[in-house]
Amino acid sequence: MSHSFQVDLRGIVELLSHHLYSSPRVYVRELLQNAADAVTARNAATGQIWCETPATTADGSLRMHDNGIGLTEAQVHEFLATIGRSGKRDELGFSRHEFLGQFGIGLLSCFLVADEIRVQTRHEGHPTVYWTGHSDGRYEVAAGPDRMEPGTSVTLVPRRDTAVWLEPLRVTELARMFGGMLPYPVRVDGELVNEVAPWLNESHVPKTAYAEQTFGFTPFDIIDLRVPEAGLTGMALVLPMTANPAAKAGHRVYLKRMLLSEGVEGLLPQWAFFARCVIDASELRPTASRESLYEDGLLESVREQLGAQLRGWLVQLARHQPERMNRFLSIHHLGVKTLALQDEEMLRLVDQWWPMETNMGKMALAEFRERFGVVRYSPSLDEFRQLAAVAAAQGLAVVNGGYTYDTELIERLPTLDPAILVDRLDPSDLSTRFDTLDSAVELTLRPFLAAAQRILDPLGCEAVVRAFDPPSLAALYLTDRHSTFQRQLRETTRVVDEMWAGVLSTFERADAQTRPQLVLNYRNSLVRRAVALPTPELMGLAVQSLYGQALLLGHHPLRPIDTALLNRSFLDLLDHAMPSLEE
Ligand SMILES: Nc1ncnc2c1ncn2[C@@H]1O[C@H](COP(=O)(O)OP(=O)(O)OP(=O)(O)O)[C@@H](O)[C@H]1O
């Protein structure tokens, strides 16, 4: 024996109110939507929707009227009283394209604010039907006086605790928000709430005013959007201020001119966080809550096409309005750079336009290449700061790759053109550009170098004297990538257990060439005075101080042995600088 499912309406309403809809306010949307669909089904040209709030009804109830298609008695039983049954599907059960509704549950949202829904409806050529639905699942159908014109009136009698949702000001505001763009006149207590869809304006002025009013900012620019395949028109408002790339961008989305939500996510590709959209689409689908977009192939394609339109705008801006492009980049460089990590067009844009810090002044990478050939870069800010002046003095142009994504972007440049030369600066290469001293001077330096090496040996460093610019720089601590690695390896080996130490030691190489160098500058007067000091002790003390200062200047990590040396040399220097008490 077969049975039919029973539906506990209270349970369903509970489910809707707590899990599907974010707020009871959606009842206004659902009523407007049903009225709009009914008008579409009858005669769009003369369609009217009007709402009477308690300010007009004076009995605490709210009424939504339309002069739409109306329902016959049979349809009332079939559609109003059957949950999940919709009159907006075709014979095969597919939702019909011209209607907003499709799920057959919208009317239930009225139970969020009322225990009783009364519908008075007339379909052309049929008598008027009076239907009353109760939140406990009962409903009655009755006959009554005929309506003048076909159409439907829905009356909601609020409960005491939900009367706030029916307050005139609130209803007007909600009707304007959800239904303000509908192609039919919508009135609340006689007042028209429709507005012209802002994205359909030819001129920027009303669009800008709309952005200011709705989003609270004057857009940097406005980009018209169009995806015919999705029946989509709209505009992207470019933010005039930096947006947090991690923050979710909410877009204002209308479906068939009815507001879906003010915070729809996933309409644009993630990189496009510099734009807020206002769009209307006839082909995109809502989720059942009607608060977000259904993720399907069409939405994916829309996302791609909108992305392409934003990208196109950027490229045009770069070509025709370089000044504005620079301004745009100064606000949104992080987004553009993120995109450039995967997108060639954007990489080209960064290459041409984004002013990078270099030791020859700020300039775009393309200009840097034109002037210096190779894009030589330093991957860290500390290293760049330490070496920029020295490298410039040797005529070596270096880009600072230490800011977010810059190194990755520079390394990606050859994907634009394999002929682009990119070279990571190895600090130790610098010393090969420094002048060696003539042999007579070298000879006089021997005692000093011996004293210096005695100090530096336990620190794993090599003492070198060269002549280089700028003369104001006394000493440079230079370490190549290989020796940095060896140094870190030795440090790690020291702290791990025996087994790991054994494993790590196989990577160690003991050749002296891999040692970092302390390069002392013979053009610096302090260094020349250190060389001329009378005793090896004093020379050693000077080397200790120069070593410590070079480490600090270069922001090199200090090991305990380095910190101890810094402390000791500082105190020893003080000791020498101050007269002793016995004298
Ligand atoms: N104002 C109205 N005029 C004519 N028919 C209506 C009206 N309101 C509701 N109906 C009928 O009642 C049915 C159920 O309405 P309901 O709002 O629950 O669902 P829906 O609009 O079909 O879909 P959705 O759940 O997506 O809103 C509709 O399909 C329609 O046939």
- Between residues 383 and 527, the one the model is more confident about: 527
Q: Which of 406, 546, 407 is nearest to 464 (CA)?
A: 546
Percent of the chain with pLDDT over 70: 94
What is the 74 CA–ligand 1 centroid distance (Å)? 14
What is the 107 CA–ligand 1 centroid distance (Å)? 6
List, for residues 48-85, the tens digit of each pLDDT value.
Answer: 999 999 999 999 999 999 999 999 999 999 998 888 88
**Terminal C-alpha separation, the chain:** 119
Residue with CA closest to ligand 1 atom 17: 106
Question: Can you tell me the distance from the alpha carbon of 199 to that of 235, in angstroms, rounded to the nearest whole number?
Answer: 6
The finding on whether 155 has its CB within 6 A of some atom of ligand 1 is no
Q: What is the largest CA-CA distance in the chain?
A: 124
ipTM score: 0.98
Task: Encode burial over 320-345: b for 16+ CB neighbours within 10 A, e otherwise.
Answer: eeeeebeebbebbbbbbbbbbeebee
Residues ≥6 apart with Cβ < 8 Å to 435? 466, 467, 468
- Between residues 252 and 86, the one the model is more confident about: 252
Task: Encode burial over 56-93: b for 16+ CB neighbours within 10 A, e otherwise.
Answer: beeeebbbbbbbbbbbbbebbbebbeeeeebbbbeeee
How does residue 433 score in pLDDT terms, banded at 50, 70 and 90? Answer: confident
Contact 562, 551 (CB under 8 A): yes
Please give the annotated binding residues for ATP, written as ranges: 30, 34, 66, 86-87, 152
The finding on whether 80 has its CB within 6 A of some atom of ligand 1 is yes
What is the 204 CA–ligand 1 centroid distance (Å)? 38
> Does an H or E element contain 50, and which?
strand 49-52
Amino acid identity at 245: P
Question: Can you tell me the distance from the alpha carbon of 393 to that of 433, in angstroms, rounded to the nearest whole number?
Answer: 10
CB atoms within 10 A of CB 527: 22
How does residue 382 score in pLDDT terms, banded at 50, 70 and 90? Answer: confident
Which region, left, alpha or beta, applies to residue 43 given φ > 0 means left and ψ of -120 to 50 means alpha?
beta
The finding on whether 103 has its CB within 6 A of some atom of ligand 1 is yes
Residue with CA closest to ligand 1 atom 31: 87
Helix, strand counts (H, E) of the chain:
19, 19
pLDDT exceeds 50 at position 512? no
The finding on whether 104 has its CB within 6 A of some atom of ligand 1 is yes
Could you give all domains of the chain from N- to C-terminal order, each with its CATH number?
9-192 (3.30.565.10), 198-308 (3.30.230.80), 322-430 (3.40.50.11260), 439-479+516-577 (1.20.120.790)
What is the 240 CA–ligand 1 centroid distance (Å)? 42
What is the 217 CA–ligand 1 centroid distance (Å)? 38
Percent of the chain with pLDDT over 90: 64
The finding on whether 151 has its CB within 6 A of some atom of ligand 1 is no
The finding on whether 51 has its CB within 6 A of some atom of ligand 1 is no
How does residue 484 score in pLDDT terms, banded at 50, 70 and 90? Answer: low
Q: Average pLDDT of 17-26?
A: 84
Encoded tokens for 54: 């308690």
Eight-class DSSP state of 113: T
List, for residues 205-242, the tens digit of each pLDDT value.
Answer: 899 999 999 889 999 999 999 999 999 999 999 999 98
Eight-class DSSP state of 163: G
